[in-house]
Amino acid sequence: MIITITLNPALDRTLRIEKPLVANKLNRAVSSSVEPGGKGINVSRAVKALGGESVALGFCAGSNGRFMKDALTSVNIHHDFVDVPGNTRVNVQIIDQLGDHTEVNEPGFKISDGDFIRFLERVELYLDEKNIFVLAGSVPPGFPMVNYIRLIKTIKKAGCRLIVDESGDLLREALKFEPDFVKPNIFELAEVVGDEPTDDPDVLVHSARKLLDLGAKSVCVSMGQQGALFAAKDEPEVLYVNCNPKIVDAGAVGTGDAMVGAIANSMDKGVSFTEMAKITVATGRASARLAGTEMASLKRVYEVYETLLVYTV
């Protein structure tokens, strides 16, 4: 089973406007939508779109939290959130007719030590070594690193596999506990290993190997329209996968989460490393064709899958 953890969930509101966004002027939306969000929840949505099953864990609060749970239930995504005081945050994405994105994310609510203990007790209900945990996204305001580390230790001590999609200090700390998979983008990777960002696979491979040296067992570096690079300690070859022709993003938000969902679903099904790499890129690129944080269906994924090129680096 796949267990996703979203410590700082959100409602994702997408507004589409007919003209480029203009500051200090009235901008009229031609359409709007609201979906449950936060990286871990998006991963659960991607797993569902691929035909898999997951349970979404995290915190929720207030009327927004109730809306989020109802929305997940309505699409048959299992969830087991810890209710806390406050109100779940709202993230706003504005997309104009050219496809340009403007995002405004709220910070979220603070979590007390007591609420975190209740959350750990909830996590312990799912500590089966067959389960795959996905830890993704930001932490709530003021969330102490010691609690983040305690969560990772709890998961790893139980022998569960762990996928991490974080950046900065969160990723650095997670690497100390040998996560089974990490998925930085080229900028997050460069920040952690101290290299310059690049989408040149022949250069990027050296940065990816640094992550393996820092503790990751497997790495997927997402490269946007350029595809992704995959490396693992127990795989003899590093793979670079891209699309031909390239797919222009229509909904860049959530495409990385779609890729993490594909990684988790592939691990759960026990597919080969090469097949995982292809499905992951196909899922991300197929989802990039869609507006907002909509996740691509398996049919759309395989349409992209047929266009993929796989190279060894």
Mean pLDDT computed over 9-16:
90
More confident residue, 247 or 221: 221
More confident residue, 292 or 241: 241
Averaged pLDDT score across all residues of the chain: 93
Cβ partners under 8 Å of residue 42, min gap 6: 254, 257, 258, 261, 293, 295
Q: What are phi and psi of 15, to 5 degrees?
A: -115, 130
Helix (H) or strand (E) holding 108: none
Amino acid 242: pLDDT: 93
Cβ partners under 8 Å of residue 301, min gap 6: 50, 262, 279, 282, 283, 286
Catalytic residue, from 12, 165, 249, 257: name it.
257
User: Which residue segments constitute the domains of the chain, with CATH numbers given?
Assistant: 2-312 (3.40.1190.20)
- Of 300, 311, 247, residue with least CA distance to 277: 311
Residue 135 CA to its chain's centroid (Å): 8
DSSP 190-255: HHHHT------HHHHHHHHHHHHHHT-SEEEEE-GGG-EEEEETT-SS-EEEEESS----S--TTH
Amino acid 119: pLDDT: 97
More confident residue, 12 or 265: 265
Amino acid 292: pLDDT: 63
The yes-or-no answer on residue 257 being catalytic is yes
Mean pLDDT computed over 89-97:
88
pLDDT at 251 over 60: no
Amino acid 98: pLDDT: 78
Mean pLDDT computed over 123-136:
97
Amino acid 218: pLDDT: 98
The pTM score is 0.92
pLDDT at 73 over 90: yes
Amino acid 248: pLDDT: 61
Q: Which of 114-123, 162-171, 180-189, 284-293 comes out lowest in average pLDDT?
A: 284-293
Residue 232 corresponds to which amino acid? A
Give 172-224 pLDDT, tens digit per residue: 999 999 999 999 999 999 999 999 999 999 999 999 999 999 999 999 999 98
Cβ partners under 8 Å of residue 248, min gap 6: 99, 225, 288
Q: Which of 46-50, 64-68, 246-250, 276-280 comes out lowest in average pLDDT?
A: 246-250
